[in-house]
């Protein structure tokens, strides 16, 4: 029977193992850390209740370890597949643990109305600043002469895009309480999101400041604190 994987952790969780989706949790040592798993014959159904249960298990584990790297829902592997997937990734896992240790995640999203208003503002501002066919042509001409270093910097920015103006205003309000920020453009599966990692002792203060910001900016929604789902590398 294969192992259903919930998370990588840096230490054995305190207290009794508890249950996963259908059986008792187990802890297995692997390259780079420890995996929290349960025995399972098949992948659980993708249903709201099961997703909630999976997240509840991860949240419970997060309270009992210094650092946790949640693994995506539905990860069912044989022991040999786990070892192969994690082989020679000790350094990557150690860096990820360092990033999330003693921190929690808050997630920000913006309503569709707010996004439409922002896009309209950007279009108006663009026309006022001379953004149009002529400017686009100049940009294309300049692009042909960029240096290798410039190209790499642009590629890095594309891989880690900057947050739009509205999200940057939000960040300026919360910056003193934010350890790490990640912006995720909208995809087919996930809406546009801004993720913040916050030190656990600062979480209550962060939530209080966030509530004040939301009162003044009702187009934003904030959820959390959560385990650091958005900051965990895809290791399995």
Q: Is there a single domain that holds both residue 189 and residue 93? A: no
Helices 112-128, 165-174: inter-axial angle, 10-degree rounding? 110
As for how many domains the chain has, the answer is 2
pLDDT of residue 126: 38
Task: Give the pTM.
Answer: 0.77
| Residue 188 structural domain | 105-120+150-231
Overall size of the chain counted in residues: 236
Examine the domain organization and report whether 7 and 80 are in the same domain: yes
Residue 181 included in any domain: yes
Count of Cβ atoms closer than 10 Å to residue 98 Cβ? 10
Tell me what pLDDT residue 137 has.
42
Q: Are 165 and 109 part of one and the same domain? A: yes
The 10s digit of each residue's pLDDT in 154-190 is 444 444 567 777 788 898 999 999 999 999 998 887 8
Confidence of residue 112 (pLDDT cuts 50, 70, 90): low
In sequence order, what DSSP letters do the residues of 130-178 get, joined into one string? T-SHHHHHHHHHHHTT--HHHHHHHHHHHHSPPPPHHHHHHHHHHGGG-
């Amino acid at each position: 029977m294969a192992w259903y994987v919930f998370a990588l952790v840096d230490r054995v969780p305190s207290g009794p193992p508890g249950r996963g989706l259908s059986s008792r949790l187990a802890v297995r040592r692997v390259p780079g850390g420890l995996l929290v798993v349960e025995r399972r014959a098949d992948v659980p159904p993708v249903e709201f209740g099961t997703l909630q249960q999976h997240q509840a298990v991860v949240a419970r584990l997060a309270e009992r370890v210094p650092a946790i790297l949640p693994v995506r829902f539905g990860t069912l592997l044989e022991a040999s597949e786990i070892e192969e997937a994690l082989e020679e990734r000790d350094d990557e896992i150690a860096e990820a643990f360092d990033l999330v240790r003693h921190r929690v995640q808050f997630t920000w999203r913006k309503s569709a109305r707010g996004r439409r208003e922002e896009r309209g503002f950007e279009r108006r501002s663009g026309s006022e600043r001379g953004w149009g066919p002529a400017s686009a042509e100049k940009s294309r001409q300049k692009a042909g002469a960029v240096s290798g270093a410039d190209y790499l910097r642009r590629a890095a920015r594309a891989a880690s895009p900057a947050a739009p103006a509205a999200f940057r205003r939000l960040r300026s309000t919360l910056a003193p309480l934010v350890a790490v920020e990640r912006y995720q453009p909208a995809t087919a599966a996930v809406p546009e999101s801004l993720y913040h990692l916050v030190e656990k002792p600062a979480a209550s203060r962060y939530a209080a400041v966030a509530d004040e910001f939301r009162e003044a900016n009702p187009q934003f929604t904030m959820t959390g604190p959560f385990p650091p789902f958005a900051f965990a590398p895809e290791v399995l």
